[in-house]
């Protein structure tokens, strides 16, 4: 009976535990991933499912493909480990230190093509993983910085849907940013 696992409180300070509870996550394309419950609970969405006692066999995630899910799990594992090794309050998304190895890992983690990056954003949003959402949104924000409107369109493959008159007006409104 899996219900006994839902009443166990997972402590942040828990280090090696031979009886680590596991959960199985199922991607939209039918692949199953077995992970430690504590790692899965990095996702608030999954946490609520488990706490509500609905995690009987597998937790289906129809919005996340296996490719993305495996990356998300990688992220959660890494961050759970890091939180376990040091003070729980030190997590990657609050630390700005460039010497922080987790920051370096995060930077490498988001060096992916746009398709993957945006899928990660959607997954992080759906699974409610704040750290991952912050990281991916910040990456997109950084991709925009300092670019002209045309450069932004090119980077993100945006179609210019302004009429010439509308475009002239919007440009005028925002002229201050370009001078």
Instruction: State the residues that interact with another protein by CB under 8 A.
Output: 114-115, 117-118, 121-122, 125, 133, 137-138, 140-141, 144-149, 152-153, 156-162, 166-167, 170-171, 173-174, 176-179
Q: Specify the residue, 30 or 164, whose C-beta has the smaller distance to another protein.
A: 164
- Least Å distance, CB 52 to another protein, is 24
| Closest CB to another protein among residues 38, 136 | 136
Instruction: Identify the sign of the CA torsion 117, 73, 10, 26.
Output: positive
Dihedral sign of CA atoms 159, 163, 167, 170 in order: negative
Between CA 63 and CA 139 the distance in angstroms is: 22
Name, in order, each residue with C-beta under 8 angstroms of 32's C-beta and a sequence gap of 6 or more: 24, 25, 26, 58
How far is it, in rounded angstroms, from Cα 52 to Cα 142?
A: 38
> Smaller CB distance to another protein: residue 38 or 139?
139
CB of 131 to another protein, least distance (A): 13
Instruction: Quote the least distance from Cβ 168 to another protein, whole Å.
Output: 10
Q: Minimum distance between the CB of residue 159 and another protein, rounded to whole angstroms? A: 7
CB 38: neighbour CB atoms within 10 A? 22
Q: What is the distance between the alpha carbons of residues 6 and 10, in angstroms, rounded to a whole number?
A: 10
Helix (H, G, I), strand (E, B) or coil at 55: coil
Query: Which CB atom, from 101 or from 156, has the smaller least distance to another protein?
Result: 156
State the nearest-atom distance from the C-beta of 68 to another protein, in Å: 13
Nearer to another protein, 54 or 144 (CB): 144
């Amino acid at each position: 009976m899996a219900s006994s696992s839902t009443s166990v409180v997972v402590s942040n300070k828990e280090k090696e535990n031979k009886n680590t509870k596991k959960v199985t996550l199922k991607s939209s394309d039918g692949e199953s991933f077995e992970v430690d419950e504590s790692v899965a609970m990095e996702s608030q969405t999954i946490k609520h499912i488990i706490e509500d006692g609905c995690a009987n066999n597998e937790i289906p995630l129809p919005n996340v493909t296996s490719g993305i899910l495996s990356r998300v799990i990688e992220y959660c594992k890494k961050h759970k480990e890091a939180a376990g090794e040091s003070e729980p309050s030190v997590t990657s998304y609050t630390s700005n230190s460039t010497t922080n190895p987790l920051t370096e890992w995060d930077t490498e983690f988001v060096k992916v093509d746009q398709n993957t990056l945006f899928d990660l954003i959607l997954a992080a949003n759906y699974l409610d993983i704040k750290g991952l959402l912050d990281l991916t949104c910040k990456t997109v924000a950084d991709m925009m910085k300092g670019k002209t409107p045309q450069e932004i369109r090119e980077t993100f493959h945006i179609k210019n849907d302004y009429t010439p008159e509308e475009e002239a007006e919007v440009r005028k409104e925002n002229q201050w940013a370009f001078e």
